[in-house]
Amino acid sequence: MRIKEAYAESGGVYGSPRITHELRRLGETCGENRVARLMKHNKLKANIGYKRRFFKSSVPSLIADNHLQQQFVVCEPDTAWVADITYIKTYEGWLYLAVVLDLFSRKIIGWSMQANMGKDIVIKALLMAVWR
């Protein structure tokens, strides 16, 4: 089936309009509704990517003091920790992950994962690191 081939070549990104265009370019006679119906029957659905929206803040954010001065080599454990937050796209939506890392051992000593990002996720990661 040429629809499955076009879908696979696109990496699962093309929907019925693009696949119809691709099939017509290859010389096939088809309509968009028919392609959409056959895709639905074969459970072929386009994977939709989302654009990130960037917001410009009118108030500049507070910049923390640089206590490490780019000296990331530490001689003893638990003398310097670093933390970060990242987000992970899943099929169910976004997950936010906060981690605390010990610079001496380079091991994660605290982490927290939640569906929404707030101060609670950072506090939980820090508490896990403190109470380990």
Domain ranges across the chain: 2-41, 81-130
Q: Specify the pLDDT at position 73.
A: 85
- CB half-sphere exposure, 132, CA atoms < 13 A: 15
Tell whether the model's pLDDT for residue 70 goes beyond 90: no
Does residue 14 have a pLDDT over 80? yes
pTM (predicted TM-score): 0.52
The per-residue pLDDT for range 36-63, each reduced to its tens digit, is 999 999 999 988 876 777 777 777 778 8
62, 67, 109: which is closest to 84 by C-alpha?
A: 109
Report phi then psi at 102, rounded to 5.
Answer: -85, 120
pLDDT of 106 strictly over 90: yes
